[in-house]
Amino acid sequence: MAVAARSIQRTRWIKLQVFRYVVFLLAAIFFLVPLGAMVEFSTRANDGSRTLDYWKAIPSYPDLTGAIAASLQLAVITSIVMLVLLVPTMVWVRLKLPRLTRIIEFMSLLPLTIPAIVLVVGLFPMYIWLNNNLSDSILTLSLAYVVLVLPYCYRAIDAGLGAIDVKTLTEAARSLGASWFTVMWRVIVPNISNAILNATLLSVALVLGEYTIANNLLYNNLQVELVHLARDNAGVSIAVAVAALLFAFALLVVLAFVGGRPRRVHDEPATALAGPLAASQT
């Protein structure tokens, strides 16, 4: 009896392992082939041999290099505005305005439920006004991008602040005569540096991949330009897409290693990544 039970267990275990490795193999094929194909496509010459011509041609498209520069600037501006807006507010709310916690959380997470294409419709008249009265620079896009990255950055910073005792640290610093600026800059920020890095990298990755808002507000950021260029020269376009992807991947590796421990994003996947988040990207 015991032997029979064990052999049933054994058969089941083998079946399970076969099932698991078939699933992993199929998943690996489905997810890796398209990525590899981009590298292959961007290095294939017309006669089928390998070439780096597409990669070398990148600098010879001024519209493209301009769009790359614009997207990088947008990423930097968006991250800075986001941090300046979010970190002091969240610290202040924790210390002085606990009643506002729910409101701030709700407002910060709200963009997850609003598809980017819907947000664009509301922003459209605002940007017409902005173009006519203040500036028609592509960098004004960062005003909208801050809203786009808000939910992800809110969660990252909230996790960071939750892990330290903000109140005690602040009271200690204040009782020693520190100004509020000193408290923020020399006490809070160094203690949540991981969370700040996390939030910054997330917002950089999101901004570099953003297409919906820029395209419909008629700005040529990196992704919009890639689509334009793909109609003339798909090879160069895909080469730049690969480069952008590798850059984003490098950021994520930095994220995983600088922290030194598994990030919250992965600890709470259901809440961290739920919601129609792809609205911003897809």
Partner 1 sequence: MTVAGSPAVTTNVGRPFLGGRRFSLDWVGAVPYLAYVGLFLILPSVIIGIGALLDANNAFTLDNFRNLSRSYVVKATIDTTVLSAITAFLGAVFGALLAYAIVTGSPNGILRRLTISASGVLAQFGGVTLAFAFIASIGPAGFVYLFAQAHGFDFYKQDLWLFEIPGLDLVYLYFQIPLMVLVFLPALDGIKPQWREAAESLGGNTWHYWRHVAGPLLFPAFLGSVLLLFANAFSAYATANALINQGQPVLAQQIAGALSSEVGAYEPGFAKAIAIEMIIIVTLVTVLYTLLQRRTARWL
As measured in angstroms, the least distance from the Cβ of 248 to partner 1 is 8
**Region near partner 1 per CB under 8 A, out of 57-65, 72-80, 100-108, 186-194:** 100-108
Q: Does 30 bind partner 1 (CB under 8 A)?
A: yes
Question: Residue holding tokens 């376009």?
Answer: 237
Residues numbered 125 to 164 that lie near partner 1 (CB under 8 A) are 125-126, 143-144, 146-147, 150
- Specify the residue, 121 or 258, whose C-beta has the smaller distance to partner 1: 121
Give the one residue of 117, 163, 250, 254 binding partner 1; rule: CB under 8 A: 117
**Smallest separation (angstroms) from partner 1 to the CB of 140:** 11
Which range binds partner 1 by CB under 8 A, 54-62, 156-164, 189-197, 231-239? 231-239
Give the shortest CB-232-to-partner 1 separation in angstroms: 14
What is the SS3 assignment for the chain?
Answer: CHHHHHHHHHHHHHHHHHHHHHHHHHHHHHHHHHHHHHHHHHCECCCCCECCHHHHCHHHCHHHHHHHHHHHHHHHHHHHHHHHHHHHHHHHHHHCCHHHHHHHHHHHHHHHCCCHHHHHHHHHHHHHHHHHHCCCCHHHHHHHHHHHHHHHHHHHHHHHHHCCCHHHHHHHHHHCCCCHHHHHHHHHHHHCHHHHHHHHHHHHHHHHCCCHHHHHCCCCCHHHHHHHHHHHCHHHHHHHHHHHHHHHHHHHHHHHHHHCCCCHHHHCHHHHHCCCCHHHHC
251 binds partner 1 (CB under 8 A): no
Between residues 227 and 254, which has the closer beta carbon with respect to partner 1?
227
Question: Phi and psi at residue 136, in whole multiples of 5°?
Answer: -110, 20
Between 19 and 185, CB nearer to partner 1: 19
23 binds partner 1 (CB under 8 A): yes
Name the nearest CA neighbour of 41 among 230, 208, 246, 282: 230
Site for partner 1 in 157-216 (CB under 8 A): 171, 174-175, 205, 209-212, 215-216
For the bound state, the minimum distance from the C-beta of residue 174 to partner 1, rounded and expressed in Å, comes to 5
The answer to the question of residue 4 lying near partner 1 (CB under 8 A) is no
Beta carbons of 169 and 191 less than 8 angstroms apart = yes
Considering beta carbons, is residue 160 or 210 the nearer one to partner 1? Answer: 210
Give the x/- contact pattern for partner 1 in 52-91, rule: CB under 8 A: ---------------------------------xx-xx--
Q: Which of 45, 69, 124, 162 binds partner 1 (CB under 8 A)?
A: 124
Distance from C-alpha of 152 to C-alpha of 252, rounded to nearest angstrom = 14
Stretch of residues binding partner 1 (CB under 8 A), selected from 56-64, 131-139, 188-196, 268-276: 268-276
Query: Does 98 engage in binding with partner 1 (CB under 8 A)?
Result: yes
